[in-house]
Amino acid sequence: MRTLEEAFLKFKSRLELDPKEQQNASERHTEIRSHLKSKFAIENDFLTGSYARWTKTKPLKDVDIFCPLGDKEKHYRDEAPSVVLTAFHDALVEKYGASKVSKQRRSCTVDFGVGVDEDDKTGYKIVSVDVVPAFKDGEAYEIPDADEGHWIKTNPKIHAEKAVAAQRAYSDQWKAIVRMLKYWNNHNGKPIKPSFLIEVMCLECLSGGFGGRWDYEMQSIFATLADRIDDEWADPAGLGPPVSDMLDQAKRDIARAALQAAQKSASEAIHLARQGKNYEAQKAWRALFGPRFPHP
């Protein structure tokens, strides 16, 4: 039987992007970008979000395409944010059909109808893509926020730079821990929303370098996030609204309870390992995280 360390390393590997998945993602986002460029004046579109920062977890969903609009589309900036989102939605419906396209708060999502099996496998296929219309604003960008009814500023470059710095500062294990936390979040009803909030919290809560024990690291970060979930978590770029603004007090209570339960489960799994019950410990970690954590 593999050791607990080997099990975590296998888990880490399973959450990393496979070359076949990257190829499928490339084909899908290239297809969407080409279609949108035939409908709008788009300048220097690029991939952003957790996929571009290598903090995306499995199964591969909601790959973000950032679409800065050119001068010919400036009229959208003078209208309500919902107008440009509706225009992008309608353009995507032309190609993919109404059942595959939906409007979100700040983006439009194309769902490719890919099935996810009981082991969270998709046959190396990407599940969905998010398209974000934007306008350049100096070194930053403005994107629509339909819920708030106005445009907000963001800077994906700063988000990416901070993720790179955090990875280096945490012995090159920061992104792996973020992916594990996001995977846990997905398998527990997504108590933390948006998932980007996990990443933002980890920029501050993971410090001092990797301690060398995955089980202790996960126990500690679950406890820390539970303690800090009530904090206001600002946009790392210092431009947009707080990343934690989707969580009202009731949702924070739910998130805290889920994190505390995870910390308790992690502690119990560690106790099993201390007793020499390696098989039971690995079963406990798989029950906590989900099917991508390997069978013992």
**How, if at all, do strands 101-103 and 140-145 pair?**
unpaired
User: 17-154: which CATH architecture?
Assistant: 2-Layer Sandwich (3.30)
> pTM for the complete prediction?
0.92
pLDDT tens per residue across all 296 residues of the chain: 899 999 999 999 999 988 898 899 899 999 999 999 999 999 989 888 787 788 888 888 888 999 999 999 999 999 999 999 999 999 999 999 999 999 999 999 999 999 988 888 888 898 999 999 999 999 899 999 999 899 999 999 999 999 999 999 999 999 999 999 999 999 999 999 999 999 999 999 998 888 889 999 999 999 999 999 999 999 999 998 999 999 999 999 999 999 999 999 999 999 999 999 999 999 999 999 999 999 88
Q: Where are the domains of the chain?
A: 4-12+158-289, 17-154
Please give the full DSSP string across 115-140, using - where no structure is assigned: ---TTS--TT---EEEEEEEEEETTE
Given the structure tokens 């029950």, which residue do they identify? 287
Q: CB neighbours of 4 closer than 8 A, spacing ≥ 6?
A: 214, 215, 273, 278, 281, 282, 285
Question: Amino acid identity of 181?
Answer: L
Query: Which H or E element spans position 264?
Result: helix 249-274
Q: CB neighbours of 220 closer than 8 A, spacing ≥ 6?
A: none
Both structure tokens of 74: 């400036």
